[in-house]
């Protein structure tokens, strides 16, 4: 069974700082990995999808990397803003199932 | 948002009663999923469907059943609700792109309380 760990569990940074969120997974046989954000009381919003053959994927201020062989992915957020405050979840696709970590709760302080 | 709706959005019920949650999609996606989200556990897969009448179990399927008689609807049933099934339930769909890559999109969630 795929186990997904996200570190840190919570992070608080001042506005404008660059930051990195980490995701590790135990089974490297993944098809892809998806990053989501979740605002309190809301559903999940897809941010980025990295295919297993890719190393990086970028969208605006977000950059996600994938090292499949070592079971790691990172989400880099540049020039953080208060609107980035949310919980960020990673989910590798293994077989027909996505497995989720418990997320990193990010607070960006104005 | 991939046209996903869930109903009801909130429900309070009593232990032992049956409950059915509905997920509806408008874009004919093949894969549909039901998850539950609980503090400290993240999202856990209950059941998923890969076509009409084709379903399979996820990590936490005990006490739940599903049905998919039409492409657009995926129903989750708690035959006899228990307090341990108090949770937020999310429906999701998967899209396939040109390379066969999946992107998963989520509905707004249903908050279920079992008293």
Distance in angstroms between the alpha carbons of the first and the last residue of chain B: 32
pLDDT less than 70: residues of chain A: none
Question: Is residue B12 exposed (0-12), middle (13-18) or buried (19+ Cβ within 10 Å)?
Answer: exposed
Residues near B98 by beta carbon (within 8 Å), at least 6 away in sequence: none
Query: Residue B96 pLDDT > 80, yes or no?
Result: no
B108 touches A at CB < 8 Å: yes
For A6, the closest chain B residue by CA position comes to: B42
Report pLDDT for B101: 61
Per-residue model confidence (pLDDT) at position B95: 77
pLDDT (0 to 100) of residue B39: 86
Q: How far is CA A89 from CA A75, A77, B72, in A?
A: 10, 14, 27
CA distances from B64 to A91, B43, B93 (A): 23, 16, 19
> How confident is the model at residue A95, as a pLDDT?
81
Tell me: pLDDT of B70 over 90.
yes
Q: Measured between CB atoms, does A98 come within 8 Å of chain B? A: yes
Q: Is B3 touching A (CB cutoff 8 A)?
A: no
Strands A44-51, A32-38: pairing is: antiparallel
pLDDT at B40: 81
pLDDT at B100 over 90: no
Q: Do A96 and B31 touch (CB under 8 A)?
A: yes
Tell me what the mean pLDDT of segment B49-65 comes to: 93
Quick check: B99 pLDDT over 80?
Answer: no
Q: Which of A7, A33, A44, A50 to mutate to test the interface with B (most CBs of B within 10 A)?
A: A44
- Say yes or no to pLDDT of B29 above 80: yes
Instruction: Return the number of other C-beta atoms located less than 10 Å from residue A78's C-beta.
Output: 13
How many Å separate Cα A23 from the centre of its chain? 6
8 A C-beta contact, residue A73 and residue A33: yes
* Contacts (Cβ under 8 Å, ≥6 apart) of B71: B25, B28, B30, B51, B52
CB B29 within 8 A of CB B4: no
């Amino acid at each position: 069974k795929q186990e997904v760990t996200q570190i840190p569990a919570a992070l608080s940074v001042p506005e404008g700082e660059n930051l990195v969120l980490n995701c590790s997974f135990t089974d490297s046989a993944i098809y892809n990995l998806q990053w989501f954000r979740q605002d309190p009381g809301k559903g999940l919003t897809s941010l980025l999808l990295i295919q297993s053959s890719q190393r990086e994927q970028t969208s605006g201020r977000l950059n996600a990397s994938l090292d499949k062989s070592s079971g790691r992915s990172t989400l880099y957020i540049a020039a953080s803003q208060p609107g980035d405050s949310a919980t960020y979840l990673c989910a590798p696709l293994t077989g027909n199932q996505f497995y989720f970590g418990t997320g990193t709760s990010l607070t960006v302080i104005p | 948002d991939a046209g996903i709706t869930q109903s009801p959005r909130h429900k309070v019920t009593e232990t032992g009663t049956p409950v059915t949650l509905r997920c509806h999609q408008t874009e004919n996606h093949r894969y549909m999923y039901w998850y539950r989200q609980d503090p400290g556990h993240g999202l856990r897969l209950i059941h998923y469907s890969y076509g009409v009448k084709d379903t399979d179990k996820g990590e936490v399927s005990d006490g739940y059943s599903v049905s998919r008689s039409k492409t657009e609807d995926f129903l989750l049933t708690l035959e006899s609700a228990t307090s341990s099934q108090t949770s937020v339930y999310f429906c999701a769909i998967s899209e396939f792109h040109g390379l066969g890559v999946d992107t998963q999109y989520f509905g707004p969630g249903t908050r279920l309380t079992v008293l």
